[in-house]
Amino acid sequence: MRKVCGDFGCELREFTGKDDHVHLLVDFPATVQLSKLVNSLKGVSSRHLRRDHADHLSQYLWGGHLWSRSYYCGTAGGAPLSAVADYVKSQRRPV
């Protein structure tokens, strides 16, 4: 995820996940097309996860797909990035 963000001139600030979704805090310039960034994040991560964990992932696929076609992007709206990062960190799956 960090490399894909870097390829788009973005910075991945936080990354956490749950059983059925992930949370990313990405700092990106206004010139980045979010749909292209998200599609690349999904595509690259899917290829890597399938390559490295195909047997385990097979039980989680939706019609052969790892990710759904939908996604949600929100802006921080002037909130301090530290507060948003704390929220993303709080979404970590309990171990």
Q: Which CATH class is domain 2-90?
A: alpha beta
Supply the DSSP symbol for 77: T
pLDDT of 93: 58
89/95 Cα distance (integer angstroms): 13
pTM of the predicted structure, to 2 decimals:
0.79
Going residue by residue through the chain, which has 95 residues, state the pLDDT in tens, using 9 for 90 and above.
Answer: 999 999 999 999 999 887 778 999 999 898 999 999 999 999 999 999 989 998 888 887 878 888 888 998 887 777 788 888 888 888 765 54
From the list 67, 66, 84, the residue with the least C-alpha distance to 75 is 84
